[in-house]
Structure 1
Amino acid sequence: MLARFSRMVVLGVAVVALASCAPVQHPDGTATHTDDFGTPVGTRQVREGGELVMGLSAEPDKLDPTTSSSLYTRYVMGSICEKLYDNDASGNLVPQLATGMPTVTDEGLTVTIPVRNDIKFADGSAFDATAVKTSLDRHFGMKGSQRTSEMGPIAGIEVADSSNVVIRYKKPFAPITAALADRAGMILSPAALAKDEGKNFGDNPVCVGAFKFVKRVPQTSIIVERDPLYYDAKKVHLDKITYRIMIDANIRASNLRSGDIQVADTISPQDVDALAKNPDLKLVQSGSLGFQGIFINIGNVDGVGKPTKQIDTPIAKDARIRQALSLSIDRNTLVDTVFNNWFEPACSAIVPKSTFATPAGTECPAYDPKKSRELLKEAGVQTPYPITLQVTTTQDQLRMAQALQANVAEGGFELKIVPVEYSTLLDVQKKGTFEALMLGWSGRLDPDANITRFFGTKSPGNYVGYSSPSVDALLQKAAQSTDTAERAELYGQANQAMAKDTPYVYTYRLRLLTVHTTKVTGVEVYADGVVRLGKAAFVVDKG
């Protein structure tokens, strides 16, 4: 499980802090793992220059923070595109391109963000409040944006002066600072956006970052190089980073051992124990803010963002069938056997030891295949009830799907597994061309981005076409409050309501496992899931 969270309110904006390096407890009888987020270079002797190669476990989608929905895009964008705010290793929200935390006035309706005005984008354009407004307007209002719901009910965005941006709200929105610590807070070069009205920004992204984009070879690699215009260039040591697409976990592990790559993400639980014992390698690990599970398509017929339409299948129309699927999953056994005790069961979007956790918010459905069959009988469907499940082609995901297939058979289901390449599966998710789909979410500090994004009626991330006025009301009320206890209670109520509808079946929570060679340092991974390489470096060879 994740380390403990503590509550912090900054100028009226509620945020959450994660205690660094606290022990992470697994279920009784399983292994205990300790968080190690990596360490900054600090005073360690390093050499300047060099090319670092990272083995990336999946291909990112388009490198456009407005439309992206991939964790792996966050890896790459993290080195080339800074945000107004960031998470630190302890889970605190800290300024990055902003110069301080937001000031919230007018009973929560006005949020003023102080921003830098003395730095430049990678193309030499000036960074100031006007540039910030341009990006925030795009993230919030552009057709196809995945950021709109994350930013809340905005009435307008204004430039107060060159150093201050003002967001005006129709209703208070407490999660905004946390949202601006992710892609909604990435600020894009206005000059680059002006080309082709920004339609092709993702082909040649330009931001403020330690590195700048060089080129992308689809399904092969993405290359970035040091940006000499970066405001903190003295802390950037590498000349170049190559993100090499290496979907096969065994190949990533082999390349780590051989030294052909220096960093690899998403290490398989099948490999991690052996790699961790290798004296030439270092394991960086963290609990996760996210979750994994199964999306069940209820009403996404014409694509996400379009009006929902009831899908005419039993599982889409009858919540009892979806509840039965959840009851037929033995989460503890699956996690222990498939993932060698490295991961843990997940039952909701609420992180178990966060300040937003309540019994109602983290309650897990019992494994009850008998009850599952009773519900299927009540629903009047023939058993075994068939479900087509699309899943990524990675070995761990296929292994999980196959174990799940055997597991749910006892509860009266027959899973047909359809392997799909990760980037294609993201498109399938958005288009709604699925019955059931196994994907997760890397997670955010504020629960609004873990819940409302997927289940708010008008959210651009509502891939299942779920709509519940009562759930919407609970989520909106929670987002308007800065009282953590009140928000936690409301999210608990929302979770209970969604458990009855079961538009998504939570299965497990990852441990973030990244390995790098001891020839490099400064590689950091926090609970938000992003592998940070911007300040990494090769160590001086003492030989």
Structure 2
Amino acid sequence: MKLFRAALLATALALPLSSVAAIAATPADALVVAQNIDDIVALDPAQAYEFTSGELNTNVYDRLVGYEAEDTTVLAPGLATEWTADDAAKTITFTLRDAKFASGNPVRPEDVAFSFSRVIKLNLTPAFILAQLGWTADNIDSMVTIDGNTITVKYEGDFSSAFVLNVLASRPASIVDEVLVMANETDGDMGNAWLNTHSAGSGPFVMSDYRPAEIVRLTANENYFRGAPAMKSVIIRHVAEAATQQLLLTSGDVDIAKNLTPDQISGLSTDAIKVETYPQAAVHFLSFNQKEESLTPPAVWEAARYLVDYDGMTQSFLKGQMEVHQAFWPKGFPGSYDETPYTYDVEKAKQILADAGVQTPIDVTLDVINATPFTDMAQSLQATFAEAGINFDILPGTGAQVITKYRERTHQGMLLYWGPDFMDPHSNAKAFAYNSDNSDDNYTATTTWRNAWAVPDELNKAVTAALAEPDQAKRNQMYMDIQKQAQEDSPIVIMFQAALTIAMANNVEGYVNGATSDFVYYRLVTK
């Protein structure tokens, strides 16, 4: 079989793109995807915090409420059929629908309470999202209570129930099968190790196979309350190289290629392939660790904003993949700040450094994911920053390696991207403009803490005030003001907002790719 596959690929390489699509075809009831999935660190929804992990969680787990495939802009019922909010009492009461987990076990109110409690008690990376509601390991059992077929969620904090619903639509609020999970508990880990290679959800698919940096296989859940998906399996193959993804797509070995370059997209001449573009919520940024003394002067941060060749990148190798955006909340969402005051200006950057007495050259290591287009972006930054005496030594690594290093605060410069944890501007405001405790032992899943930036108290207070503001129009303006301040004075240089262009076989219909990886849905796909 290996010899046959090698021969097939060699033959495909020798054929024009318009001919190879007829060579092979994937099964009619299976969707095969070529994708770079080496960013996965964890799959347990109580721990998963990577982009690919979010996509997988969405397809195997349900939440009480969520943004569904039919319309990713509207908060809709999930495992809850309805809910009643009492802002004065700071409670929301949910009525649970009649549903089953993929295991066949019924979805019970007890599973909801267990799922929320488990996230808080394990206290892994995404736990802070639910902890925002004032939940702790000591009080969680009284904050989420059961009465017959209803679950009442209490929260503490100066925010509205709309914010709480967005939190409960997020990844760590996924509902897991308590009976199945606890049957696989090891050494008091509440099933964490097992859930990082298996699934225990009620969603449209079951994760039936996971081999890191190789393959993920999802199998249709015949018990799914909305009906079993048409695709009996979704196979996601780890293919890091864009050229290989292109070959697999044009030869018919995969149905979807997710990481093609703009040149490859424009070169797809076969009638058997179509291209779809999906606006994304992810923002791409360059950041400087404030543990590195040479990177602490604000003049370095300001000069950096004039050393990015924004137009040069978006008009060449990033064309169709990104647009210039220089604030932390993505364009197209309420509360976004869309002004782009910075342009590539080496002389201005030099003057800023000189006026502040900053000595150059400055040598900086730059960590970057070793895949397209990140390495291309890093090389562009290396060339333009060198013009002002800031020399980047590029350190490529897998997505997991780069993200782990970032979380440990052991980098100097970092080229990375960030998507909202939930669809509320506070999600990114907390990540980019809030850090009230910068100590090493206060691990926080924000870019501010990871770059060891002790955010000024004034900005911390502004973020807290915006969260509490009940008037939505006023609240949006407050977030715009926060973005403007962070844009002007921060060691985090936001450069672009992503646009995802995906190539797929013409017979694929119903694929949904929303603004974040948590909004990627396979359950409506047909072929």
> What range describes the TM-score normalised by the shorter chain of this pair?
0.7 to 0.9
| Deviation (angstroms), 1:312 | 4.7
Give the letter aligned to residue 424 of structure 1. Q
Contact 1:129 1:165 (C-alpha < 8 Å) held by counterparts? no
Contact 2:337 2:483 (C-alpha < 8 Å) held by counterparts? no
What aligned pairs does 1:371-450 form with structure 2 within 5 A after superposition? 371-443=348-420, 444-450=422-428
Aligned to 2:17: none
Aligned to 1:228: 222
Give the letter aligned to residue 229 of structure 1. N
Contact 1:319 1:500 (C-alpha < 8 Å) held by counterparts? no
1:331-385 per-position Cα deviation (integer Å, ceiling 9, x unaligned): 12221122135421120112234321346xx453343322322332344433232
CA distance in 2: counterparts of 1:221 and 1:190, whole angstroms:
27
CA distance in 2: counterparts of 1:380 and 1:338, whole angstroms:
35
| Deviation (angstroms), 1:115 | 4.2
Aligned to 1:351: 330
Give the letter aligned to residue 261 of structure 2. S
1:103-126 per-position Cα deviation (integer Å, ceiling 9, x unaligned): 33243x623142424212222333
The share of aligned pairs that are identical, in percent, is: 19
Give the letter aligned to residue 54 of structure 2. R
Aligned to 2:305: 326
| Deviation (angstroms), 1:90 | 5.4
1:437-467 per-position Cα deviation (integer Å, ceiling 9, x unaligned): 1110234532112221344326423422333
Aligned to 1:460: 445
> Which range moves more in the overlay, 522-531 or 247-256?
522-531
Aligned to 1:112: 92
Contact 1:215 1:222 (C-alpha < 8 Å) held by counterparts? yes
Aligned to 1:270: 263
1:476-513 per-position Cα deviation (integer Å, ceiling 9, x unaligned): 22122232221222212322332344231111111111
Aligned to 1:214: 208
CA distance in 1: counterparts of 2:431 and 2:80, whole angstroms:
24
> Which range moves more in the overlay, 524-533 or 155-164?
155-164
Tell me the secondary structure at the aligned position of residue 357 of structure 1: coil
Contact 1:133 1:159 (C-alpha < 8 Å) held by counterparts? yes
Tell me the secondary structure at the aligned position of residue 320 of structure 1: helix
Tell me the secondary structure at the aligned position of residue 233 of structure 1: coil
- Aligned pair 1:340/2:285, yes or no? no
Task: Output the TM-score relative to the length of structure 1.
Answer: 0.81
* Residues 516/82 of structure 1: CA separation in 2 closer, same or farther (3 Å cut): farther
Aligned to 1:259: 252
* Residues 263/48 of structure 1: CA separation in 2 closer, same or farther (3 Å cut): closer
1:12-33 per-position Cα deviation (integer Å, ceiling 9, x unaligned): xxxxxxxxxxxxxxxxxxxxxx
1:409-448 per-position Cα deviation (integer Å, ceiling 9, x unaligned): 2333211111111121121111112111111023453211
CA distance in 2: counterparts of 1:433 and 1:453, whole angstroms:
18
Contact 1:48 1:238 (C-alpha < 8 Å) held by counterparts? no
Tell me the secondary structure at the aligned position of residue 403 of structure 2: helix
Q: 1:289 aligns with which of 271, 277, 281?
A: 281
| Deviation (angstroms), 1:87 | 2.3
Contact 2:303 2:353 (C-alpha < 8 Å) held by counterparts? yes
Contact 2:287 2:414 (C-alpha < 8 Å) held by counterparts? yes
Contact 1:321 1:379 (C-alpha < 8 Å) held by counterparts? no
State which structure, 1 or 2, has the greater radius of gyration over its C-alpha atoms: 2
Q: 1:68 aligns with which of 48, 51, 68?
A: 48
CA distance in 1: counterparts of 2:485 and 2:282, whole angstroms:
20
Structure 1, unaligned runs of 5 or more: 1-46, 299-310, 539-543
| Deviation (angstroms), 1:245 | 0.5
Aligned to 1:122: 102
1:254-307 per-position Cα deviation (integer Å, ceiling 9, x unaligned): 1111111111223322222233x5321122222122211113222xxxxxxxxx
CA distance in 2: counterparts of 1:535 and 1:140, whole angstroms:
33
* Residues 284/150 of structure 1: CA separation in 2 closer, same or farther (3 Å cut): farther
Contact 1:270 1:339 (C-alpha < 8 Å) held by counterparts? no
1:136-185 per-position Cα deviation (integer Å, ceiling 9, x unaligned): 22334532232414652425522242222313223325433223333033
Aligned to 1:532: 521
Structure 2, unaligned runs of 5 or more: 1-25, 438-443
* Residues 140/295 of structure 1: CA separation in 2 closer, same or farther (3 Å cut): farther
> Which range moves more in the overlay, 449-458 or 513-522?
449-458
Contact 2:508 2:526 (C-alpha < 8 Å) held by counterparts? yes
CA distance in 1: counterparts of 2:283 and 2:204, whole angstroms:
30
| Deviation (angstroms), 1:48 | 10
Aligned to 2:21: none
Contact 1:334 1:404 (C-alpha < 8 Å) held by counterparts? no
Give the letter aligned to residue 449 of structure 1. S
Give the letter aligned to residue 191 of structure 1. V
| Deviation (angstroms), 1:213 | 1.6
> Which range moves more in the overlay, 251-260 or 165-174?
165-174
CA distance in 2: counterparts of 1:354 and 1:219, whole angstroms:
33
* Residues 400/487 of structure 1: CA separation in 2 closer, same or farther (3 Å cut): same
What aligned pairs does 1:152-171 form with structure 2 within 5 A after superposition? 152-155=132-135, 156=140, 157-161=143-147, 162-171=149-158
Task: Output the TM-score relative to the length of structure 2.
Answer: 0.83
| Deviation (angstroms), 1:49 | 6.6
What aligned pairs does 1:512-523 form with structure 2 within 5 A after superposition? 512-523=500-511
Tell me the secondary structure at the aligned position of residue 292 of structure 1: strand
CA distance in 1: counterparts of 2:34 and 2:258, whole angstroms:
7
Give the letter aligned to residue 215 of structure 2. S
CA distance in 2: counterparts of 1:429 and 1:312, whole angstroms:
14
CA distance in 2: counterparts of 1:336 and 1:233, whole angstroms:
44
Aligned residues: 473
Tell me the secondary structure at the aligned position of residue 473 of structure 1: helix
* Residues 387/333 of structure 1: CA separation in 2 closer, same or farther (3 Å cut): same
| Deviation (angstroms), 1:66 | 2.0
* Residues 296/117 of structure 1: CA separation in 2 closer, same or farther (3 Å cut): same
1:86-112 per-position Cα deviation (integer Å, ceiling 9, x unaligned): 325352222222223x533243x6231
| Deviation (angstroms), 1:67 | 1.8
Contact 2:79 2:99 (C-alpha < 8 Å) held by counterparts? no
* Residues 137/453 of structure 1: CA separation in 2 closer, same or farther (3 Å cut): farther
Contact 1:387 1:435 (C-alpha < 8 Å) held by counterparts? yes
CA distance in 2: counterparts of 1:295 and 1:465, whole angstroms:
10
* Residues 175/363 of structure 1: CA separation in 2 closer, same or farther (3 Å cut): farther
